[in-house]
Amino acid sequence: VGPSGARALAALHRAPGLTALTLDLWNNALGDVGAEALAALKEAPALRTLVIDLRSNDVGNAGAQALALLKDGPALRSLTLDLGWNVVGAEGARALATLKESASLRRLSLNLYGNA
């Protein structure tokens, strides 16, 4: 899939009636660029449930910081973000901790197993 595929998938944020989305992108060489592209899903107006599996994608601090912006999703109530086996460090973890500041988020599942 790579970063260009992630950019294409991020265009799903334009689907006005999309309320739930699961993306299983394990081991697809997305890197920070792909993670940054997927952060555009925060703009989906009706998206309430989002599950993104990004295990083993070489996502680092920049990608984690971008994904933390999912907290700004206007309708997002449930977020599952699997970043296991990437290269997220303390800086990225601090950014992801800001997900708690979301006004709409009610359920959060975050996996950072096997990171830097």
CATH of the domain at 86: 3.80.10.10
pLDDT at 57 over 90: yes
Q: Which residues contact 97 (CB under 8 A, 6 or more apart)?
A: none
* 30 close to 59: Cβ distance less than 8 angstroms: yes
Collect all residues with Cβ–Cβ distance below 8 Å to 103 and sequence separation of at least 6. Answer: none
Helix (H) or strand (E) holding 64, with range, is helix 61-68
pLDDT at 5: 98
The amino acid that residue 92 corresponds to is: G
9 falls within a domain: yes
Count of structural domains, the chain: 1
pLDDT for the residue 6:
98
Average pLDDT, the chain: 98
Q: How high is the pLDDT of residue 41?
A: 99
Residue 78 belongs to some domain of the structure: yes
- pLDDT value, residue 67: 99
**pLDDT at site 25:** 99
Per-residue pLDDT, 116: 83
15 domain-assigned: yes
Q: pLDDT tens, 6-53? A: 999 999 999 999 999 999 999 999 999 999 999 999 999 999 999 999
Q: Provide mean pLDDT across the span 55-65.
A: 99
Q: How far is Cα 99 from Cα 56, in angstroms, rounded to an integer?
A: 22
Q: Is 116 inside a domain boundary?
A: no
Find the mean pLDDT for residues 57-80: 99
Neighbours of 29 (CB within 10 A): 14
